[in-house]
Amino acid sequence: MRDLELIEEIEQIDRSSIARRLLAKAVRKWKLEYYARQYGDGKLTLARAAHDAGASLWEMREYSRARKMAPQYALEDLRQDPGTISGSTTRAQR
C-alpha cells in the first residue's frame, strides 16, 4: 500500500488510475513473455508472436534475443535467403 501511496503522490493521480496503468503494463509484459515462449518452442512465427503480443516485429525480435532464444529458422527459409541476398547484391551493384 505504501508503494501505491508513493506513486499516487508523485504522479498526482488517483489510485484506480495507478492500478489500471500497472495492470496494463503487467498484461503487456505477460503477453510478450508468453508469445516469445510460443515462438521459442516453434509454435508461432516471429511475426505472429509479435502480432499476438501487440508488439512490433523488432520489439519481439529484441525481446527474444535478450532472453537468448534461438531463432526459429526453417530450412526452406535458409534455402530462399541466399537467392534473395545475391539478387539484392546484384541489383545494388548495377
Query: What residues contact residue 36 under an 8 Å CB cut-off, 6+ apart?
Result: 49, 53, 60, 63, 64, 67, 69
Rounded to an integer, the average pLDDT of 14-29 is: 93
Cα dist. 27→17, 42, 49, 60 in Å?
Answer: 15, 23, 15, 15
Express each pLDDT in 40-93 by its tens digit.
998 988 999 999 999 999 999 999 989 888 777 666 655 655 554 454 444 444
- pLDDT for position 35: 95
- pLDDT for position 79: 60
Task: Determine the Cα–Cα distance for residues 18 and 7; give it in Å rounded to an integer.
Answer: 8
- pLDDT for position 1: 76
Is this prediction's pTM over 0.95?
no
**CB hemisphere CA count around 74 (13 angstroms):** 9
